[in-house]
């Protein structure tokens, strides 16, 4: 069987505080031949200057997270396209299990358990429960995979024309729903990938629940969001 090549896309906007850590981590946990692309949304800080030390940098052609991810994918070459948020830190375990999942040619999407760093036990329990909901959504054939760390088989991704560029949020859930028509969606519940806790610090748990509820209602009712309050 042909060995699958991998490209990693990191969408950014004003991420100078974290992008160095994110890209260093990718170089540490991904194979040496992994293509890493930063798709920048015309940052006004030092993001691009820092990112160029570790990765190829392109500029997105639109003004949404969907544009950033899609433009990065267009510039990449891998059989598998892995999207990683600028404040998220995939592990070698995730890489290995993700690649193993794609050994099944029917698999088109592989997500994982996302957990914020440095949170209290109560907040950690909340996010574990949230990931159980995601796992259940996959099990019933209505996947709601988060875009923080998610991989797609390129052929399926391109057939679905990538992420919706006209919405400010839920573009990840939308694609996971659409792409299941092309094959199997896998959620690695037991594989935890850390992300920063900045969203919690900015909005708090109640604020996050309010924002996610609003986003989910708009998504379920087929309406597009124009703003997204939590940092991306």
Q: What is the pLDDT of residues 46-90, one digit of tens each?
A: 999 999 999 999 999 998 899 999 999 999 999 999 999 999 999
Provide the pLDDT confidence category of residue 232 given band limits of 50, 70 and 90.
very low
Domain count, the chain: 1
Residue 95: closest CA among 79, 114, 108, 82: 82
* Helices and strands, number each (H, E), in the chain: 8, 7
Residue 69 forms part of a structural domain:
yes
Q: What is the pLDDT of residues 174-205, one digit of tens each?
A: 999 999 999 999 999 999 999 987 776 576 66
Residue 116 forms part of a structural domain:
yes
Residue 51 forms part of a structural domain:
yes
pTM of the entire predicted model: 0.88
Residue 223 forms part of a structural domain:
no
What strands lie across the sheet with 149-153, from one edge to the other? 56-59, 35-40, 6-12, 80-84, 149-153, 107-116, 184-195
**According to the model, what pLDDT value does residue 208 have?**
65
Residue with tokens 């309406």: 223
Residue 57 forms part of a structural domain:
yes
Q: Domain limits at 35?
A: 6-196
Q: Give the angle 22-25-29 at the CA atoms, nearest 5°.
A: 140
Residue 82 main-chain phi, psi, to 5 deg: -105, 125
Residue 205 forms part of a structural domain:
no
Residue 209 forms part of a structural domain:
no
Q: What is the pLDDT of residues 115-147, one digit of tens each?
A: 988 877 877 888 888 889 899 999 999 999 999
Residue 96 forms part of a structural domain:
yes
- CATH code for the domain of 95: 3.90.550.10
Reported as type and span, the H/E element at residue 51 is: helix 47-51
């Amino acid at each position: 069987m042909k060995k699958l090549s991998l490209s990693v896309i990191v969408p950014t906007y004003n991420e100078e505080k974290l992008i160095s850590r994110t890209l260093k981590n990718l170089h540490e946990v991904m194979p040496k031949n992994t293509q890493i692309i930063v798709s920048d949304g015309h940052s006004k800080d030092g993001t691009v200057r820092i990112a160029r030390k570790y990765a190829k940098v392109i500029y997105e052609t639109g003004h949404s997270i969907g544009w950033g991810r899609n433009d990065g994918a267009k510039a990449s070459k891998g059989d598998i396209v892995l999207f990683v948020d600028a404040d998220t830190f995939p592990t070698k375990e995730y890489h290995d299990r993700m690649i193993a999942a794609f050994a099944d040619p029917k698999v088109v999407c592989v997500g994982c358990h996302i957990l914020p760093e440095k949170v209290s036990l109560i907040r950690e329990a909340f996010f574990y429960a949230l990931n159980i909901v995601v796992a259940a959504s996959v099990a019933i054939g209505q996947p709601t995979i988060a875009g923080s760390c998610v991989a797609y088989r390129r052929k399926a991704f391109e057939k679905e024309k990538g992420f919706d560029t006209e919405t400010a949020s839920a573009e990840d859930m939308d694609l996971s729903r659409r792409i299941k028509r092309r094959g199997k969606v896998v959620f690695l519940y037991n594989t935890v990938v850390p992300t920063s806790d900045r969203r919690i610090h900015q909005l708090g748990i109640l604020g996050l629940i309010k924002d996610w509820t609003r986003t989910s209602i708009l998504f379920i009712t087929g309406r597009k969001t124009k703003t997204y309050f939590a940092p991306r």
